[in-house]
Structure 1
Amino acid sequence: MAFLWSAALATVITYAVYAVYTVTYNACFHPLARFPGPPVARATIYWKAYVECIANRSFCHVLVELHARYGEIVRVGPNELHFANPKAYHDIYNNKNRWDKEARLYKSFGEDRSSFGFLTYAEAKNRKDVLNRAFSQAAIEGAESLVAEKTKALCAAFERQSKACKPADLFFAFRCMAMDVITVFCFGKPIHAVDAPDFKAPILLAMDAASVVFLRFKYSDLFKNIITKCPPKLSKIISPATAGLVDLQQLLRRQINDLTDDPEKLKFLPHNMTIYHRLMDAEAYRNKTVPSAGSLYEEAQALMFGGGDTVGNTMMVGTFHLLQQSDKLQKLKAELSEAWPSLNEHEPKLRDLEKMPYLNAVIKESLRLSSGVVSGLLRVVPPTGATIGAAVIPPGTIVSCGSTFVHYNAALFPKPDEFLPERWLGSTDSDNWLVAFSRGPRMCLGSNLAWAELRLGFAHVFRKFDMVAADPVPDKLPFRDTFLPSYHGTHLQVNMRPVDV
């Protein structure tokens, strides 16, 4: 017994000495010791976990306070720096850089074998070279009728809400449309989310629940086990809403297993532009080997999560601001009416919408204010080191610059909290600073599809309906950083009144 007590004491002492050594080294002798930041953040990675999971704060908003206190570069972990200067964004995320993604963050999504989750540039490039054909400008133009069909389905749902004298919850409605587009375009599996009562589609409720779970478990491997691999019965114990997500995941798994067992079943999908047509084409790969069923599933999941919220959030944010500024709303409606004089004829195509300056300015301003991913996209500085801004950064350092630090920079966008579509007219200089889809070789591969959805969505909804905000009208749209912005508080409820011509 004495031996066991001695061994236990020795173990405790060893761990204590190691902890003191690690904290001392990180705080005083680490290569990043010269960069300012919260003392606890300099010592341990678990400071970020405390901020998000215990203090329950939104990290992108905490970063605003840190940069105001410590300057343009803040040490937010023993080996991590965050940059506030927008120039740093392009220094980190550009087409020349081949930097790895940081493992702790990206492995927490359970999508390690997808174009989003691959840590190295080489792995991601092989996958994206295949998928880019499905998301090219030409491919999206070929799928225009599919996107338009889902946009019209949303408008039909708005008409039903209007006849029932019920306001539409735009927090859900626009995301329903985007989810319908991504599931049909990518998987050939319509889920008819816009037809859900009050737009509360189970998949959206599930994704909202999953974002909370992700926030709680992104510092461990538990997210992968709880969300992506638990059986439906267990998921229902964790959260009734999360069960809806597992149901859709099971649907995708069955679809993928069917296709990998018998590739001839590709012929029975509703169109030949699904991601499976691209990913299961052996001729598209140098080694003539298609991805495993597990890899196909993770790619599908990444596209499902990435393809729904950004478009839906952007349309909701834009509508919120347009309803508050009637002059801008009427300017948009006038441009749409001029291009589309009668709803019964001459429906504008994507190429027509691309030429409409105010429509595109409204979309850009909506993208700026909604920002896409609001968390810093963590990258690892290569062995050669790097210069970011004016600072020389050591090899192996984890670095990021969040999109909100670009989009809300007053030097780039005067009055950054205000909705000013006019700032995008007459000049393309600001386009370089619109980073809602990120930049560089790892940027969102679905940006062309998103732009098509946004152009058709804004055009059809604002041409076909007059909108009156229902009470209570939220003063603002607060969000929490859960990688994507998770909007909370009062939802934007709008009475949709169909126009006659």
Structure 2
Amino acid sequence: MDNGLHSRSTCDAYLLTAVECCEISEAMMPSVTAIPYAILLLVFLFFYFIVYPFVEYIRDPKGLRKFPNMSLCSGMSYIPYMIFAHGGFRSMKLAELHKKYPILLTGPNTLSFGDARAIKDIYGHNTKCTKDSSYLVTAGTHFHLADVIDKPEHARKRKVLSSAYALKNLETWEYKVADKTERLIRHIDQVCTEPLAPGMARPDPKDLTLDYRAWTNLFTLDAIADIGLSERLGFLDTGNDRCIAQNKDGTTYEVNLREALYPTARKQSLILWNYDWYPIVNKLVNIIPFYGRMQKSSDNWDAIVWRRATERLKRYEAGEKLDDFFQALMEDKDGNPNNLEWGEIVAEVNIMMNAGSVTTAIAMTNVLYQLLKNPECLRKLRQEVDAVLEPDEIVAPYDKVKHLPYLRACLDESLRLFPPTSHGLPREVPPEGMYIMNEFIPGGTSVSMSALVAHRDEKVFPQADKYIPERWLGEEGKALQPYFIAFSAGARGCIGRNISYLEQTVLLASVVHRYEFALPHPGWQLKRLETMNLVLGKMPVKVWRRQLEEL
């Protein structure tokens, strides 16, 4: 019996083992069969991303292979350009390459131009180029003036907004800029230190009491909110950029505005360049914390804009007639409703607050930095400004300083040397193709020219790497204007340039008249990070009052 039981148990055990083996084998089947699928996927990816681009590059259906590659694989892939973008200053790299090559192939269907003669062809008033698909894939539910592609639609939008940005409105809005200048000066007065000792070139670190970069940004944010929406953000009063954001469900929360604003363009600048893949890549990369944080910032920015727009709408619906940008969106100059969709209005508020604050703040910081690096230029500027302002004038009246030639030259030379928007604004060649710099470019090709690259063209701007305001004076200065694209050019040029010059002119004249400044040490350099704009790091300075009564 024992033997029988043993035999039976043994048989059962073998049977069980066999069954388990079958189950295990079945469980393993998916992984075994998955191997060919994985191989097929790898083969597909290899052919799609390597073999096919290489074949297309060799086949060269558009004839672009005749142009030098920006890097080894630029004619086959956009990855090299993305790598450049992650490097932090791609336009400077392009400027170096363009010293040798006037036209560069930066991607399978994109060309970068390095000769300033290309400006008229690509961006001029009569150009046949249109904004390319990058503006389409990054747009929200509604286009704003800066990203709309269709030319008739752009003309409609510009007509609606032209009254808001008209030169005559500068006189109306000057008091708002003067108010922000006075508030900034109030803060600077509080952080002034004793004069730098004669012969001293390096201030005591504890005397670096002003981050000029941060405070000019608070200035432009306060100014554009007031000019555009008649809203007082109060950043210059509190010394920070905390504000209320609002989700579309009505919930509100506090957030730092600049932390929400800047990463949005940073993310796009890193991953945008393959337009077909951008919508997918834009979502996939969010699993990486580096990009995920940028997306969160973008969501916060949208909530900040939504709050500003909805609060201003409440005031409009309550019957307030305010002389600002929002009013021009809602009604024409005769008071007739424009009947714009709400999404379009929000989109215009978005670009107004973004472009209307970021680039001007960068410009304000850049020009003072250049003047401190070039003290002889600062001396000449002070001489010009002091001649028209009284010693006790705190805020420079715009009428007194708007036509000062050297002041304007200092601003333009700073904008030339480091344009706030350094990224080459992409344009698409019409289907029939066109000539650019006497080279035929096939239809559908994306072309661009970085403002930084254009402004470093030695044939137009001798000693292009140096800060020389004098180049903008007189007839020689007028001759340079067609090659100055800090605000872009042609019909798509920046509509807000007059407001930017108003803010820059009043603030610079006011601060150089009232204060002396010193950088941390003579060799100190301002840090720059290129996104779509050329974003700046901190600029700590020592500041003290000038003795104007002795002048």
Task: Provide the secondary structure at the position in 1 that maps to 2:227.
Answer: helix
Equivalent-residue separation in structure 1 for 2:186 and 2:298 (angstroms): 26
Query: What's the TM-score, normalizing by structure 1?
Result: 0.85
Aligned counterparts, 1:64-463, within 5 A:
64-68=95-99, 71-104=101-134, 107-108=137-138, 110=140, 113-162=143-192, 167-197=209-239, 202-219=256-273, 220-221=278-279, 239=293, 249-257=302-310, 263-265=316-318, 267-268=319-320, 271-274=322-325, 276-281=326-331, 290-344=339-393, 349-427=397-475, 428-463=478-513
Shift of 1:351: 3.3
Structure 2 counterpart of 1:341, which letter? E
Shifted more, 174-183 versus 393-402: the winner is 174-183
Amino acid at match of 1:45: Y
C-alpha change, 1:4 and 1:243, in structure 2 (3 Å) is closer
SS at match of 1:339: coil
- TM-superposed deviation, 1:236: 13
User: Counterpart amino acid of 1:214?
Assistant: Q
AA in 2 matched with 1:175: N
* 1:21 paired residue number: 52
Which sits farther off after the overlay, 7-16 or 437-446?
7-16
Quick one: structure 1 residues 382 and 191, their matched pair in 2 at CA, closer, same or farther if it must change by over 3 Å?
Answer: same
State which drifts further: 366-375 or 200-209: 200-209
AA of the residue aligned to 2:309: I
Aligned residue identity for 2:279: D
3-state SS in 1 of match to 2:387: helix
Distance change >3 Å, CA 101–CA 282, structure 1 → 2: same
Q: Distance in 2 between matches of 1:142 and 1:277?
A: 14
Mapped partners of 2:522, 2:346: distance in 1: 40
- C-alpha distance in structure 2 between counterparts of 1:193 and 1:63, whole Å: 37
Distance in 2 of aligned mates of 1:60 and 1:434: 16
Q: Aligned AA for 1:142?
A: T
Q: Tell me, yes or no, if the aligned pair for 1:51 and 1:57 is still in contact at 8 Å.
A: yes
Q: Mark the runs of 5 or more structure 1 residues left unpaired by the alignment.
A: 230-234
1:399-428 Cα shifts (integer Å, max 9, x gaps): 001111221222222211211111112222
Q: CA deviation at 1:264?
A: 2.0
Secondary structure of 1:486's aligned partner: strand
Contact 1:318 / 1:362 at 8 angstroms: preserved in 2?
A: yes
Match of 1:491 among 539, 545, 548: 539
Q: 1:262 to 1:143 in 2, by over 3 A?
A: closer
1:434 to partner: Cα distance: 1.9
> Would you say the 8 A contact 1:184–1:190 is kept in 2?
yes
Amino acid at match of 1:113: F
1:191 partner SS: coil
Q: Which piece of structure 1 moves more, 164-173 or 409-418?
A: 164-173
Deviation digits for residues 87-121 of structure 1 (CA, Å, limit 9, x no counterpart): 11121001112532122356336485111121222
Q: 1:160 to 1:242 in 2, by over 3 A?
A: farther
CA distance in 1, matches of 2:519, 2:141: 40
Give the stretch that moved more between structures: 244-253 or 186-195.
244-253
**If you compute each CA radius of gyration, which structure gives the higher value, 1 or 2?**
2
Q: Do the aligned residues in 1 keep the contact of 2:104 with 2:113 (CA within 8 Å)?
A: yes
Separation of aligned partners in 1, 2:57 and 2:383: 60
Q: Which moved more, 1:207-216 or 1:152-161?
A: 207-216
* CA–CA separation in structure 2 for the residues paired with 1:204 and 1:5: 49
User: Does 297-306 or 397-406 show the bigger shift?
Assistant: 297-306
Q: Using the alignment, how far apart are the partners of 1:111 and 1:65 within structure 2?
A: 38
SS of the residue corresponding to residue 335 of structure 1 reads helix
Please give the alpha-carbon distance, in whole angstroms, between the structure 1 residues aligned to 2:80 and 2:335: 43
1:191/1:214 CA distance change after superposition, 3 Å: farther
- Aligned match for 1:34, one of 60, 66, 72: 66
Aligned residues: 484
Per-residue deviation, 1:492: 4.0
Question: 1:158, 1:364 → 2: CA distance?
Answer: 25
Gaps (5+ residues) in structure 2?
1-29, 195-206, 244-255
CA deviation after TM superposition for structure 1 residue 251, in Å: 4.1
**Pairing 1:49–2:101 present:** no
Deviations 1:307-337 (A, max 9, x none): 1222222222221122233322122112111
Pairwise CA distance, 1:374: 0.5
1:278 is displaced (CA, Å) by 1.6
Q: Distance in 2 between matches of 1:454 and 1:197?
A: 20
Deviations along 1:44-94, one digit per CA (max 9) or x if unpaired, are: 2233223323xx34221221343345x111111111100000011121001
After superposition, the Cα gap between the structure-2 partners of 1:17 and 1:325, relative to the gap in structure 1 and judged at 3 Å, is closer
Task: String of CA shifts for 1:202-224, please: whole Å, max 9, x gaps.
Answer: 32343344443333443533798
C-alpha distance in 2 between matches for 1:252 and 1:385? 39
State the alpha-carbon separation in 2 of the partners of residues 244 and 484 from structure 1: 17
CA displacement 1:346-373 (0-9 Å, x = unmatched): x753233222121111111121122131
- Give the TM-score, by structure 2 length: 0.78
Letter in 1 for 2:439: A
Partners of 1:264 and 1:200 in 2: how far apart? 27
